[in-house]
Amino acid sequence: MINLDFLQSLIQAIDSSGLDSLELERGGTRIKLSKTPPTAGALATAAAQAAAAAPAVAAPPPAGVETASDAAAPPSDLIEIKSPMVGTFYLAPAPDAPPYAEVGTRVSPGDTLCIIEAMKLMNELESEVSGVIQEICVDNSDPVEFGQVLYRLSPS
């Protein structure tokens, strides 16, 4: 079993280093951390393994098929802030706390926008740009995918 503090230190080490990925085995447990998403072949293998272990869910529409959300595409001048990981999206640090940011909030680099919980770790997502939040694309406590649009900002 891997100690949670050890895992957090590995994540921080890879984030602050020039490494793109790290793989190690300890006590019979294998860990692989990577900053870049896996290749399409690895995604297909992981998806096949997940499908065998999980109940069936509705598949996304095939590429090129327009959905209702595609029809309402945002103006091209907005900056999209996307999820850096898979997890659960939270607008506030606690259920009874005010949200970090709302529509109309002006944000600067370093301002916390939300929390994404992944593997019982609470990860604060900080803005990397300045702007005014025009749209929050995810509801509180919704699951999010890597690369999913969370916020749209107008640049300031």
- Could you give all domains of the chain from N- to C-terminal order, each with its CATH number? 4-53 (no CATH), 76-155 (2.40.50.100)
pLDDT digits (tens, 9 = 90+) for 83-98: 999 999 999 999 899 9
pLDDT at 71: 46
Using CB atoms within 10 Å of the CB of residue 33, give its burial: 0 to 12 exposed, 13 to 18 middle, 19+ buried.
middle
Residue 106, helix vs strand vs coil: strand
Q: What is the mean pLDDT of residues 78-85?
A: 93
pLDDT digits (tens, 9 = 90+) for 35-74: 665 544 555 555 555 444 444 444 555 555 454 444 455 5
Question: For residue 134, is pLDDT > 90?
Answer: yes
Q: Where are any strands of DSSP class E within 79-120?
A: 79-82, 87-90, 106-107, 112-118
**Is the pTM here over 0.75, yes or no?**
no
Question: For residue 145, is pLDDT > 50?
Answer: yes
Task: Count CB neighbours of 14 within 10 A.
Answer: 16
Q: What amino acid occupies position 123? A: N
